[in-house]
Amino acid sequence: MEVLRTARLRLRWFATSDAPQILELLNDPGWIANIYDSEVRTEAQAVEWLKLRLMARYWHLGYGFWAVERLKDGQFLGLCGVIKRDGLDHPDIGYGLLTRHWGQGYAREAAAATFEYCRTVLGMRQVMGTTGPENLASAKVLLAIGLQDQGVHQTQAHEGLSRVFEWTDPRPADDMADLAALRLRWRDALTRPDRACTFSACVTPEVSARWATGREDFSESAYRALVRQYAGQAEDPDLQAVPTPLGWRFHLP
């Protein structure tokens, strides 16, 4: 499922067919040095890693880490996106590209588009980013797209120290505006095929967990089938919206 495009890139959902590409990425020296060693060494392990670490989040959150492809030839470059990690107060932008594609501005382009998507499509009011304290290249990317350096901290999401970056919407909180934006996102998710991927971002974590917990099939076709089940509620004025740590969400029966 395509999420967004830039001048040179396409960001889309991962699928189990991406196992060879993700296996290469997870064993790339740059990934291991700057992110971590997942100890994924076979395609079978890569499939399970894809399901649990990437694809399940689309169902739980309505967003996640997406495959980054070059538009001109479909070449797989790496991943980029936004997730909500345990141990961090707000969703954070992350990325990792194969070493051979470094130095061409792809990380900045993908991260900038992700940041814009967070604000304008997902309605996020606070976004974070973290890097290793010595990872100056990633720090430059986060600063360039508009996040502010908050210094080096020990977060609950990481074993070692991290340099933390953050952006907060300068506009005052407005519940009425946020609720109106939620209803618009809900309608778009149910009526626009290109926005179906945001469906889970419209509901409470309890509801999305009900859909995802114990599931084996995290495919795009299964997700779109779920969206179709709710199509008749696109304009339902009686849906109950409740505040959550991620903003206003619908709590569906």
| Residue 115: predicted pLDDT | 98
Angle at 86 between CA 85 and CA 87, to 5 degrees: 105
- CATH code of domain 2-122: 3.40.630.30
**158 band by pLDDT with thresholds 50, 70 and 90:** confident
What mean pLDDT do residues 204-227 have?
Answer: 96
> 59-106: per-residue pLDDT in tens?
999 999 999 999 999 999 999 999 999 999 999 999 999 999 999 999
> 164-206: per-residue pLDDT in tens?
999 999 999 999 999 999 999 999 999 999 999 999 999 999 9
51/140 Cα distance (integer angstroms):
31
Q: For the beta carbon of residue 5, count every other beta carbon within 10 angstroms.
A: 13
| Residue 157: predicted pLDDT | 85
111/113 Cα distance (integer angstroms):
5
List the domain boundaries for the chain. Answer: 2-122, 181-250
| Residue 55: predicted pLDDT | 98
95/108 Cα distance (integer angstroms):
9
| Residue 172: predicted pLDDT | 94
| Residue 4: predicted pLDDT | 98
Q: What is the mean pLDDT of the chain?
A: 96
